[in-house]
Amino acid sequence: MTAGTSDILAPEQEPAELARFREQWKAEVRERQAAATSGAQTQPNVPFPRLGVTPATKPAITNTLSASRGPATHVVAGAPTAITHASHGQSHLSPNLAHAVEVYRKAIFHEQHSQLDEALRLYRQAFRLDANVDRAYFIEEQRTQERSATQPASHKKVPSTFSVTRDVQKPEVQDSKNRSFVASGFLAQVLKNFPENLVFEPEDEKEGLPPINLIPDELLLQILRILDYTTIERFAAVSRKARVLSLDSAIWRDFVQLAYKPPQIADDESITNIVELYSSDYRRAYLEHPRLRLDGVYIAVCHYIRFFPNGQVLSLLANEEWQPQTVIPMLKPSLRMKGFYIGNWSLSGSTVYITNLDEKHPSHAHATTELQPNKYFFQMTLALRSRPLGRWNKLDFIGYDSVNVEDGEAVPLPLKNERSFWFSKVKSWAGY
């Protein structure tokens, strides 16, 4: 074979094994190209960051459905597995990943509104919380689109972070004067067995009817509307007539309209939509829909948290010698002491996000230089719970991060033996 002549054998001169290998390799290439083409056509249009943060390649998502028509499972290579039940649309993300996805979603919102500095900071924070946040966000968005595509137009979607699972009806109960009171769930079943003409019964059957029956129901309802909800519920436990009066929608509509406004709910969330989740029962919505208590303080041993209606939050880490009766009157924005922080809060479903916790150092009368700004601030993620129903009196730690002010880097702080926060009411503090 002379110089310049190709060393590659002609097809007819190739060994049979080499020819089979070449044909097998070509078939695999064609299959991969076909799969890539079909995947690109079916991927939804999900926004990804463009501000110098390079996410991983968009994952290929495989939907597998068992022969027994079980729940659909979305599998992404290299990302935390998120399982979605087709019948309920519930996402099983870890609390830390769910927080990262929420930060990522906020970053996209700021980018779309040309707030690039804030968007870049949030993107960095999201990827530091979880390196696969972009993939998890992609899965969540695709799941949302799939669910909305299969839902009827009139179906009201329950927020993904909080769901109402009980099957309820919305019967209307009428008193002797044909006024309607909305009730739902187990209470509605109890009211069906009430007699038609209700009165306040005497404690002793030998005595006559009590004088409260002489008061018109309209006047009783006006009195109930100026009481707090715990007092109304105590009154409702007195008799069947009291229970029916306490179900007047006007009473609970006032509570709902006072309690559920930003930051207790999202800016674009409607009270009407919230109440519809509870069969238009205002009482049930007020008792069962998550809300932070503003008329007191959440306490975990020496850690105190107070929330304000304007979205401001106070956090104080005090020493053990400080008793609650001494600390609580001091919890005001004007307080300055070591371990005292001021930040912002928001509520999404039953998850509380506390951000920008900045320490407020005590000022010294003889200081000659200005205090330098803090290099770090802190953020907390808490789970809001209610024990018993309607109290919303417990906060459990999900995450606690230290955030670098300059680059937005969030470093999770270890949570060891962290106690839950329990609510303590303060009579002199307003609840709304």
- Residue-wise pLDDT tens digits, 3-29: 444 444 555 555 676 677 777 777 877
pLDDT at 263: 92
What was the pLDDT predicted at 150? 59
Identify which of 249, 231, 241 has the alpha carbon closest to the alpha carbon of residue 285: 249
- pLDDT at position 182 is 62
Better-predicted residue by pLDDT, 24 or 159: 24
pLDDT digits (tens, 9 = 90+) for 63-84: 333 333 333 333 333 434 443 3
Question: How open is the CA angle 176-178-179, to the nearest 5 degrees?
Answer: 110
Looking at residues 360-384, what average pLDDT do you find? 76
Instruction: Judge whether 202 and 208 are in contact, CB under 8 Å.
Output: yes
Mean pLDDT on 392-408: 90
For residue 221, is pLDDT > 90?
Answer: yes
C-alpha span between 95 and 31 (Å, rounded): 38
What single DSSP character describes residue 84? B
Nearest CA-CA partner of 77 in 56, 96, 91: 56
Residue 238 has pLDDT above 50, yes or no: yes
Residue 38 pLDDT level (bands cut at 50, 70, 90): low
Q: Which residues pair with 358 in a beta bridge?
A: 342
> What whole-number percentage of the chain has pLDDT above 70?
71
Q: Hunting for tokens 């401001």 — which residue is that?
A: 312
Comparison of pLDDT for 351 and 179, the residue scoring more: 351
**Phi, psi torsion values for 281, nearest 5 degrees:** -95, 105
Are 352 and 292 a contacting pair, CB within 8 Å? Answer: yes
**Phi-psi category of residue 185: left, alpha or beta, with phi > 0 → left and psi -120 to 50 → alpha:** left
Taking the C-alpha atoms of residue 106 and residue 29, their distance in angstroms, rounded to an integer, is 40
Mean pLDDT of 376-392: 92
Report the C-alpha gap between 332 and 119 in whole angstroms: 32
- Phi then psi for residue 257, to 5 deg, are -70, -30
Contacts of 52 (CB under 8 A, 6+ apart): 120
- pLDDT confidence band for 162 (50 / 70 / 90): very low
Q: What residues does 122 pair with on adjacent strands?
A: none
CA dihedral for 142, 147, 150, 153, sign (positive or negative): negative
**What digits encode the pLDDT tens for the residues 261-293?**
999 998 889 999 999 999 889 999 999 999 999
Gap between the Cα atoms of 194 and 120, Å rounded: 61
Burial class (CB in 10 A: 0-12, 13-18, 19+), 65: exposed
**pLDDT for the residue 218:** 93
What band does 408 get if pLDDT is binned at 50, 70 and 90? confident
In sequence order, what DSSP letters do the residues of 7-27 get, joined into one string? -SPPGGGS-HHHHHHHHHHHH
Q: What is the pLDDT of residue 364?
A: 56
Nearest alpha carbon to residue 263 among 351, 377, 328: 351
Using DSSP, state whether 269 is helix, strand or coil: coil
Check whether 49 has a pLDDT greater than 70.
Answer: no
Largest CA distance in the chain: 128
In tens, the pLDDT along 101-123 reads 888 888 888 778 777 777 878 88
Cβ atoms < 10 Å from Cβ of 229: 19
Query: Which helix (DSSP H) or strand (DSSP E) does residue 135 occupy?
Result: helix 133-150
